[in-house]
């Protein structure tokens, strides 16, 4: 890095590692077939992923980066915008651009453990706010998931799940009332639904099935999750089953796209083999919903 670049970075109170001198293979090279914005994006990404820039730290301004690397503002903006899309940076109007908190990883092939236990295990502070807990008749969609007749009573539990003060996901859960009527009186703000069903009510969960898709936040979801209307969310629909095969729970969960990442474990199943045999042998991971 040149003296000019070091002075600019220091002046912005963002601490960078030693960057390559101009002309080296790692530095931004204007003669390279790689676009300039891509080269800058990778240099900034390296500062973030190496830990030299910490979450919440302000990075150099657009003007400072333009001056430091002798590139146009449009190049800098494109690099920063892509890092925002990838959840590595975020902007605060009038304040600047900052390093984002790492995304919370979630697995789609997992044991059915709870949000509270999972967050504590990660060293985070879990918070659950119960927005709604009531009995209502199942509509056709819910009845289909739970394999009951439309109009049958279900317990509806809507919860906003946060880590510290930051909302992460909004989950609406449906449980057949006749399977566990006492659930309507339980306090689910500080305990796992799955643990409660098993330990207190003797309902042993066996497995589940989930679908995942990208959706845009509606006004209600945006307000609760602290994002703009239309912001990208990840939607999970899930049905969990008891050991006897009965559906015990259906949930509909929307996750902030800028704070969530999902991992999928895959196995190669040969003819005559049961894929569940492989699932049982996988290291356990945790759910963020129950």
| 271/277 Cα distance (integer angstroms) | 13
Domain boundaries, the chain: 3-99, 104-281
Low-confidence ranges of the chain (pLDDT < 70): 1-27, 103-119, 263-267, 274-290
pLDDT confidence of residue 114: 55
Q: Does domain 3-99 have CATH number 1.10.10.10?
A: yes
pLDDT confidence of residue 210: 83
For residue 233 the two structure tokens come to 């969310």
pLDDT confidence of residue 137: 95
The DSSP letter of residue 58 is: B
DSSP track, 64-75: HHHHHHT--HHH
- Phi/psi of residue 130, nearest 5 degrees: -80, 115
Query: pLDDT tens, 120-160?
Result: 777 777 889 999 999 999 999 899 999 999 999 999 999 99
Contact predicate 44/68, CB 8 Å: no
The answer for residues whose C-beta is within 8 angstroms of residue 70's C-beta and 6 or more apart is none
Q: Exposure of 2 by Cβ count < 10 A (0-12 exposed, 13-18 middle, 19+ buried)?
A: middle
CA 268 to the chain's CA centroid: 27
pLDDT confidence of residue 88: 84
Task: Please provide the CATH number assigned to the domain covering 104-281.
Answer: 3.40.1410.10
pLDDT confidence of residue 272: 76
pLDDT confidence of residue 279: 52
pLDDT confidence of residue 129: 94
pLDDT confidence of residue 12: 41
The pTM for the full model equals 0.65
| 49/124 Cα distance (integer angstroms) | 20
Report the half-sphere exposure of 28 (CA within 13 A, side-chain side).
Answer: 24
Closest listed residue to residue 183, CA positions, set 208, 157, 204: 157
What is the 3-state composition of the chain as percent helix, strand, coil, each rounded to the nearest 5? Answer: 30, 30, 40
């Amino acid at each position: 890095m040149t003296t000019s670049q070091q002075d600019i970075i220091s002046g912005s109170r963002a601490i960078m590692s030693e960057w390559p001198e101009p002309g080296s293979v790692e530095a931004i090279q204007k003669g390279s077939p790689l676009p300039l914005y891509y080269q800058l994006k990778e240099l900034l990404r390296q500062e973030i992923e190496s830990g030299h820039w910490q979450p919440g730290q302000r990075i150099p301004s657009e003007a400072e980066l333009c001056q430091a690397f002798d590139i146009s503002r449009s190049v800098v903006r494109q690099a920063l915008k892509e890092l925002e899309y990838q959840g590595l940076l975020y902007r605060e109007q009038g304040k600047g651009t900052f390093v984002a908190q790492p995304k919370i990883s979630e697995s789609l092939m997992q044991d059915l453990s709870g949000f509270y236990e999972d967050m504590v295990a990660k060293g985070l502070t879990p918070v659950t706010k119960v927005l709604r807990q009531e009995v209502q008749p199942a509509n056709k969609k819910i009845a289909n998931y739970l394999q009951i007749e439309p109009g049958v009573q279900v317990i509806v539990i809507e919860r906003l799940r946060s880590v510290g003060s930051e909302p992460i996901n909004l989950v609406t859960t449906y449980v057949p009332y006749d399977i566990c009527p006492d659930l309507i009186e339980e306090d689910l703000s500080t305990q796992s639904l799955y643990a409660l069903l098993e330990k207190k009510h003797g309902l042993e969960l066996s497995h589940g099935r989930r679908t995942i898709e990208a959706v845009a936040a509606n006004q209600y979801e945006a307000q609760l999750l602290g994002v703009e209307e239309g912001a990208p969310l990840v939607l999970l629909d899930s049905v969990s089953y008891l050991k006897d095969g009965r559906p015990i729970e259906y949930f509909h969960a929307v996750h902030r796209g800028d704070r969530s990442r999902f991992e999928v474990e895959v196995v190669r199943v040969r003819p005559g083999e049961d894929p569940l045999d492989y699932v049982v042998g996988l290291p356990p991971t945790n759910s963020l919903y129950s």
